[in-house]
């Protein structure tokens, strides 16, 4: 099994339970990763998202996502960020149906397809694997059991029809999504920058 680097994982990341994962959390500091394998990156998103104006990120947080993009473009792999992330514009990432200069492209998913309690609309930036070579994507029809709190406060939303997801479950990557992202990364060929 090919090793996959997992950059910017949580300390309690589910990736630490999966075989073939070289996990880089805050203590290991992903900026020290030397490269050499495909990767899955989960860089902090609070400085890039819909509520960035209210966030209080560390001074270096935005650059962590830029670092992740550079590593994916060089070694191949997949980056995960919220659907409203401004990283796509900042780094000129490939959009849905239009690859970028590095062959990178965007795949929108909902994390509840993979077992997350909330819908959690997500964008994936993928380099080194064509859409035709992707593993099967599970699809769940219908609504997720919970909603993310910020989606309750959107303009025009006046009533809650589903409970709010607990903060403790908000950032966790579902095990089935982690496995699937690792499989995507393993299918990505090494890319020369």
Domain residues for the domain of 23 are: 4-139+173-187
Q: Does 17 map to a domain?
A: yes
Q: Does 152 map to a domain?
A: no
Locate all alpha helices (DSSP H) within the chain, ordered by sequence. Answer: 61-75, 87-90, 149-152, 167-170, 175-187
Taking only the tens of pLDDT, the chain with its 193 residues reads: 899 999 999 999 999 999 999 999 999 999 999 999 999 999 987 656 665 556 566 768 788 999 999 999 999 999 999 888 888 899 999 888 889 999 999 999 988 888 876 777 789 999 999 999 999 998 777 776 767 765 444 555 555 577 677 665 666 788 899 999 999 999 997 545 4
Place of tokens 């609504």: 143
Domain count, the chain: 1
Burial class (CB in 10 A: 0-12, 13-18, 19+), 22: middle
CATH of the domain at 95: 3.40.50
Q: Does 153 map to a domain?
A: no
Q: Does 24 map to a domain?
A: yes
Count CA atoms closer than 13 A to 9's CA, side-chain side.
Answer: 25
Q: Does 148 map to a domain?
A: no
- Rounded to the nearest 10°, the torsion over CA 72, 48, 179, 94 is -50
Q: Does 78 map to a domain?
A: yes
Q: Does 47 map to a domain?
A: yes
Neighbours of 51 (CB within 10 A): 12
d(CA 141, CA 84): 22
Single out the residue of 49, 46, 50, 48 nearest to residue 155, CA to CA: 50
Q: Does 99 map to a domain?
A: yes
């Amino acid at each position: 099994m090919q090793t996959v680097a997992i950059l910017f994982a949580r300390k309690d990341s589910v990736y630490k339970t999966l075989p073939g994962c070289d996990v880089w959390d805050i203590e290991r500091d992903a900026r020290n990763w030397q490269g050499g394998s495909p990767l899955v990156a989960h860089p902090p998103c609070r400085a890039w998202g819909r509520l960035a104006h209210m966030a209080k990120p560390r001074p270096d947080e935005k650059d962590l996502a830029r670092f992740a993009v550079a590593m994916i473009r060089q070694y191949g792999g997949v980056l995960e960020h919220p659907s409203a992330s401004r990283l796509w514009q900042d780094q000129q990432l490939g959009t849905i149906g239009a690859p970028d200069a590095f062959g990178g492209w965007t795949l929108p998913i909902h994390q509840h397809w993979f077992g997350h309690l909330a819908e959690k609309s997500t964008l994936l930036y993928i380099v080194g694997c064509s859409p035709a070579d992707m593993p099967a994507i599970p699809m769940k029809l219908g609504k997720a059991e919970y909603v993310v709190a910020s989606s309750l406060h959107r303009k025009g939303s006046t009533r809650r029809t589903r409970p709010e997801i607990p903060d403790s479950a908000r950032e966790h990557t579902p095990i089935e999504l982690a496995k699937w992202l690792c499989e995507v990364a393993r299918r990505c060929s090494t890319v020369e920058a």
